[in-house]
Amino acid sequence: MIIWDDEALILSSINYSETSLILKIFTKKYGVQKGFVKGAKSKKKSSIFETGNLVKVSYKSRTDEMLGVFSVELIKASFLVYIDDVKKFSCIVSIINLIEFSLVENETELELYNVSKNLIERVFSFEEGWIEDYIKWEIFLLKKVGFGLELSRCILSNKKSNLRYISPKSGCAVNEQAGIPWKNKLLNLPNFLISNKKASNLDLNEGFKITSHFLTKFANSIDKTLPFTRTSFIDNIFINKK
């Protein structure tokens, strides 16, 4: 018998019958997991299983191969409360969809779990800078799926100062001087990614260009298309900033 308890973020669910669901969650200690939830579609319980909710889960399964049963308790349902804030709403949907898109089941990702949970809390806080944090989170996710960026020093000159570009091939930073010959082929590296400076609208755009490029590379490597919800989120950011 396999039994465990953990904290998790709800990724998605599929209707199994009139009353039950198959739930996909991102747990703190056990990574992405799937399980069956009996009676999940009752009026009292259905709101617990919404994407992005933070829950406490107990899992039981007879064997490794069998789909186990989840018993789920809600910890925080902050998600639906902010449903009318289109930017924040689409940001959370993008985070959750990207996690589901990128991670395979049964692999522990403790660091990514903590970073993702903190980001969701940050998105719902009233503090500024959550879009910058989202872009940094995408860079962290890229690292976790094997497409990490090296932004601490220039790949050509080994210098740590005046980093201005990023190579679309290697994902490494390039110093302003060293990058002059390839200027048109390189991606611009916004300052907020290598310092604590506040990002301008242009910086955010450059940041999204970088993560879009490498996330698309990752998506191509697994023969998939990036979730459209990510594009919707970026559109919402820039349409509403104009």
The answer to whether 33 contacts other proteins (rule: CB under 8 A) is no
Least separation, in Å, of the C-beta of 190 and other proteins?
25
- Tell me which residues in 141-200 interact with other proteins (CB under 8 A): none
Taking the least distance from each CB to other proteins, the nearer of 41 and 217 is: 41
- Least separation in angstroms between CB 129 and other proteins: 23
Using CA atoms, how far apart are residues 154 and 76, in angstroms rounded to an integer? Answer: 43
Shortest Å, Cβ 160 to other proteins:
38
Q: Please give the backbone phi and psi of residue 106, each rounded to the nearest 5 degrees, phi first.
A: 65, 20
Looking at beta carbons only, is 192 or 208 nearer to other proteins? 208
Per residue, the 3-state secondary structure of 196-233, as one string, reads: CCCCCHHHHHHHHHHHHHHHHHHHHHCCCCCCHHHHHH
Quote the CA–CA distance of 238 and 157 in Å, as a whole number: 35
Instruction: Give the residue with the Cβ less far from other proteins, 18 or 128.
Output: 18
Q: Which two tokens stand for residue 7?
A: 């904290």
**80 contacts other proteins (rule: CB under 8 A):** yes
Vertex 75 angle, CA 4 and 61, to 5°:
20
| CB distance 116 to 9 below 8 Å | yes
89 binds other proteins (CB under 8 A): yes
Minimum distance, C-beta of residue 123 to other proteins, in the bound complex (Å): 15
| Sole window of 121-129, 173-181, 203-211, 228-236 interacting with other proteins (rule: CB under 8 A) | 228-236
Residue 211 neighbours by CB under 8 Å, 6+ apart: 135, 138, 139, 142
Beta bridge partners of 201: none
Residues 93-112 as x/- pattern, contact with other proteins by CB under 8 A? x---x--xx-----------
Contacting range for other proteins; rule: CB under 8 A; set: 11-19, 109-117, 136-144, 171-179: 11-19
d(CA 136, CA 40): 35
172 bridge partner residues? 150
Closer residue to other proteins, CB minimum distance, 93 or 199: 93
Using CB under 8 A as the binding criterion, the count of chain residues that bind other proteins stands at: 31
Tell me which residues touch other proteins (CB under 8 A). Answer: 12, 17-18, 43-44, 47-48, 50-52, 74, 77, 79-81, 83, 86, 89-90, 93, 97, 100-101, 227-230, 232, 235-236, 239
